[in-house]
Structure 1
Amino acid sequence: MRRIPVAYLASYLLSLLGNSIAGIAFPLIVLQVTGSALGAGAVAAATAVPAVLAGLLMGVVIDRINRRTSSVVTDLVSAASVAALPVIDMVSGLSLGWFILFGVVGSLGDVPGMTAREALLPAVVRHGGIGAERLLGIRESLGAAALLLGPALAGGLMVAFDGSTVLWITAATSFAAALLTLLIPHRVGAIAAPADEAGRVTGALGAADAGPTAAPSPSGWAQLRDGWRVLSRSRFLVVTTMLSVASVTVLAAMQGLVLPVYFTVVGQPGMLGFVLSALGAGMLVGGAVYAVAGARGRRQVWFRVGIVGTTAGFVVVAVLGSVWTVLAGAFVVGLASGMFGGLIGVLMIERIPEHMRGRIMGTQNAVMTAAPPVGIVVAAVLTEYVSVGVAAAVVAGAWVVAAVVGLLARSLRDLGPVDDPAARDEAPAVAGRA
């Protein structure tokens, strides 16, 4: 494998691994320093809104500057926000306010960083001599590996070192990710400025939707609006975004509330970790399968296998039967999600207009960041006022509805490759009119 995809994948793995470690270690460190569970909750709440807003608004910046540069900058922002905490601890001591402040700063790099890496994907495929299916399959597997290793590493680090040392290690992963991204040549991240963005927006939306063509505007707000218009008026993008949002929402509700309550009720709270491991193992295998075989066979078959497999896994988990049944269901969900996620990534490379990838994918990532808490709250209310079994059934039912919509959507019936760059810019309009 050539240097470009290796550097990209290694950077992706380190960045995600750092986030996975921080997700476990950061709340524990806040608890150690402040002694307040409410304080840990306040940090999480304070960082959520800026992360969503950054995802919505920073897409314009990602579409204006070199995408390798934007990936490096966002990783450096994440690294600096974490590294600042042990420095302040040495100088004056930490308090809840410092955690909130630098938690907010770090959140401004998280979703834009995710978007910048995804916006860079088509260029990595073009310049890296690697097929999109193979690249996305490997990426899905690496993401699963990071999610499996991160919590274990966080737990081990918290036992072996003090909080400040753990923060330095976490910051180092983001810094190393930035250095690895620098191994990608600057030219790979360059954005070809469209000759007429307004005309391209008209093409992306379709003549029936766009109305009169206006002169191109340099305004960031105008560019942001154009990206949202393409996303909201493309049936293909609306349906695929809906499926992704439904998936992360249901997963969050199951992992964050339904399964913890269920295992507590049956007196086996320790089994939750094994279920999450089964999910991660399934994603690892599914991503590997797609990396090896994704370029073969019909994409529609991969799509249906992913949708049906995820549905079957969620239903098995929602039954809340024996522990082994739940473990099996979680593995099936991960296996199908690994394949489905790889396919969706390939489709996004081909069908999102490249000069709008930052804006469109930034909006998608922002919505997917905001959706999981909603699923957890709904599951919590149902569990509190009805039962955990009903909560599981409703959450799984939400995915079943989304899956049926995806399987019946006309815009997802033709998933064939779109190779021509001009055709790629038109793809949302084609999908929307399909």
Structure 2
Amino acid sequence: MKSDLTTPQHSQSSTRPGFRELFRNRHFMCLWTAQIFSQFADRAVFVLFVAVLTSQRAVLDPQQSIGAAEITSWLYVAFTIPAIALGPLAGVYVDRCSNKIVLILSNLARAFFVSMVTLPWIAHSPKACLALAFLVSIGSQFFGPAETSSIPRLVKKEDLFHANSLFFTTMMIALGFGFAVGEPIISRTGVAQAPLAIALAFALAALLLFELPGNKPLNGQHDPWWEELRCGLAYIVDSPPVFRAILKITLLFSTIITLNIIAVGLAEQVMHIQPFQFGYIVAAAGLGMGIGNIWVAKTGHNNPSNLLVYRGFAGLGLFMILLGMLGFIQKFIFPMVGLTGVYFGGWLMVVPLTLAAFTGISCAFVAVPTQAALQSAVPEELRGKVFGAQNTAMSTASTIPVVLAGLSSDNLPGGVSTTLLLLGLPTLLGAIYHLSRISRNLARNGSNGA
């Protein structure tokens, strides 16, 4: 069996790789801090557009007024189309230009587009708002691959585990809590002034990025963009380890997004709390992923990358199964022992929250070593195209599972519990299969070397 990407190994230098070295790296800290501002602003933008679009219903013709759910659906479409269609193309231009310039311009462009929401003719036009959302999303497609490509250029190879653990932790915190940031911003500043506050976050991110070193000349001869795109995609297809790494990250991201949707049903059907309180579950999973990221960064380099990744998938499948079993336990097991009407709420809420935290830890076992190995293996001149394609794959692959998860959670017998079992069982079985193959190969190699 062909091996996957190798884990970045620590050098035998006198300086021990770790978070302390990263925190002393001024360029890395500027990039990471810019990511924090940019990620949270990107999530708050969605909340802003929802607030603006829903407020417009009061001034529209009542016969043409659309509901909040339909508004949100169209907004998702406006944000998703660039993510699916433009990711690889954005990667081509990320490779052509200085990552620093791309990062700065993408943040300044998003700041400009968001600030335009304050204009009356835009604030009162649903079509104009959706067009601006589309443009903001385009800016995000350039920021993603440029940021990911910059990490291996700014840190040592042996520090990639720690760097990616910080970036994935920030991404998960923004995914879990970023949308919650938009509401207090709008409440404090009002819908009219909120765009300026969010635009300021993008502008601060751009300002921080001026500290980064440039890496590419802005002139030079290039093949047509479609030829560069073909070369980048051919590299992914012709490099099985790179293809498998992108596939693993895509599967993980799709599962994470799906679990965020399922968390709403889990809160209502299993924990018997209000659906909007699903943030408790997301927060527990985010905390778990933060803990897992730190643990993997500290000790993961001592283990083969494949072993870490498939242990992570095994844990992810196992804890999804355990979460799914909770609904059946409270429906069938509790009444058998005289606990009719007892749910996993109140102090018993600690059970699903703990399982959610372990689910997050399992995600870290997959994300950090896979992304670190991918960054280490891909040549610098191809990073933009590869990571642009990765972002497109992640966005595309997450769309259908999210829709199916929502439908199955509401309509299948057992609801969210059945959905979790359907997700968890194949994940666990697939991980066990790959772990057994890896263990046999390690044992065979060990016996050959003995």
TM-score by length of 2: 0.77
Q: Does 1:326 align with 2:356?
A: no
Query: Of 367, 377, 382, which aligns to 2:408?
Result: 382
Larger displacement relative to structure 2 (110-119 or 283-292): 283-292
Which residue type is aligned with residue 261 of structure 1? G
Q: Is the 8 A contact 1:228 1:360 kept in 2?
A: yes
Q: Which whole-Å CA distance do the structure 2 matches of 1:408 and 1:241 have between them?
A: 22
Q: Is the 8 A contact 2:114 2:199 kept in 1?
A: yes
Cα offset, 1:364, TM superposition: 0.9
Q: Which whole-Å CA distance do the structure 2 matches of 1:393 and 1:295 have between them?
A: 32
Alignment of 1:249-328 (within 5 A): 249-256=254-261, 258-265=262-269, 267-269=272-274, 270-321=276-327, 322=344, 323-328=349-354
Q: Which whole-Å CA distance do the structure 1 matches of 2:420 and 2:173 have between them?
A: 27
Query: Of 73, 81, 84, which aligns to 2:105?
Result: 73
Percent identity of equivalent pairs:
17
Q: Does 1:181 align with 2:209?
A: yes
Q: Is the 8 A contact 1:72 1:178 kept in 2?
A: yes
Query: Of 235, 243, 250, which aligns to 2:240?
Result: 235
Q: Is the 8 A contact 1:227 1:356 kept in 2?
A: yes
Q: Deviations over 1:374-428 (max 9, x none)?
A: 1122223334543313322223345336535764787xx89xxxxxxxxxxxxxx
Q: Does 1:11 align with 2:34?
A: yes
Larger displacement relative to structure 2 (174-183 or 306-315): 306-315
Q: Is the 8 A contact 2:176 2:286 kept in 1?
A: yes
Q: CA RMSD in A?
A: 2.8
Q: Is the 8 A contact 1:137 1:289 kept in 2?
A: no
TM-score by length of 1: 0.80
Q: Which whole-Å CA distance do the structure 1 matches of 2:235 and 2:91 have between them?
A: 14
Bigger Rg, which one: 2
Which residue type is aligned with residue 357 of structure 2? F
Structure 2 match to 1:107: 137
> Structure 1 residues 121 and 391 mapped into 2: Cα distance closer, same or farther (>3 Å)?
same
Structure 1 match to 2:224: 219
Cα offset, 1:303, TM superposition: 2.9
Query: Of 108, 122, 125, which aligns to 2:152?
Result: 122
What is the DSSP-based 3-state SS (H/G/I as helix, E as strand, rest coil) of the residue aligned with 2:38?
helix
> Structure 1 residues 122 and 83 mapped into 2: Cα distance closer, same or farther (>3 Å)?
same
Cα offset, 1:58, TM superposition: 1.4
Q: Is the 8 A contact 1:75 1:175 kept in 2?
A: yes
What is the DSSP-based 3-state SS (H/G/I as helix, E as strand, rest coil) of the residue aligned with 2:288?
helix
Query: Of 366, 371, 376, which aligns to 1:340?
Result: 366
> Structure 1 residues 356 and 29 mapped into 2: Cα distance closer, same or farther (>3 Å)?
same
Structure 1 match to 2:11: none
Structure 1 match to 2:185: 157
What is the DSSP-based 3-state SS (H/G/I as helix, E as strand, rest coil) of the residue aligned with 2:29?
helix
Query: Of 87, 92, 96, which aligns to 2:126?
Result: 96
> Structure 1 residues 241 and 397 mapped into 2: Cα distance closer, same or farther (>3 Å)?
farther
Alignment of 1:44-63 (within 5 A): 44-63=76-95
Which residue type is aligned with residue 43 of structure 2? S
Q: Is the 8 A contact 1:63 1:191 kept in 2?
A: no
What is the DSSP-based 3-state SS (H/G/I as helix, E as strand, rest coil) of the residue aligned with 1:15?
helix
> Structure 1 residues 356 and 25 mapped into 2: Cα distance closer, same or farther (>3 Å)?
same
What is the DSSP-based 3-state SS (H/G/I as helix, E as strand, rest coil) of the residue aligned with 1:162?
helix
Q: Is the 8 A contact 1:63 1:359 kept in 2?
A: yes
Q: Is the 8 A contact 1:310 1:337 kept in 2?
A: yes
Structure 2 match to 1:166: 194
Structure 2 match to 1:204: none
Which residue type is aligned with residue 5 of structure 1? F
> Structure 1 residues 85 and 404 mapped into 2: Cα distance closer, same or farther (>3 Å)?
farther
Q: Which whole-Å CA distance do the structure 1 matches of 2:146 and 2:266 have between them?
A: 38
> Structure 1 residues 192 and 162 mapped into 2: Cα distance closer, same or farther (>3 Å)?
closer
Which residue type is aligned with residue 235 of structure 1? P
> Structure 1 residues 104 and 370 mapped into 2: Cα distance closer, same or farther (>3 Å)?
same
Question: What are the ranges of 5 or more consecutive residues in structure 2 without an aligned counterpart?
Answer: 1-23, 59-66, 328-343, 443-450
Q: Which whole-Å CA distance do the structure 2 matches of 1:92 and 1:382 have between them?
A: 38
Larger displacement relative to structure 2 (70-79 or 33-42): 33-42
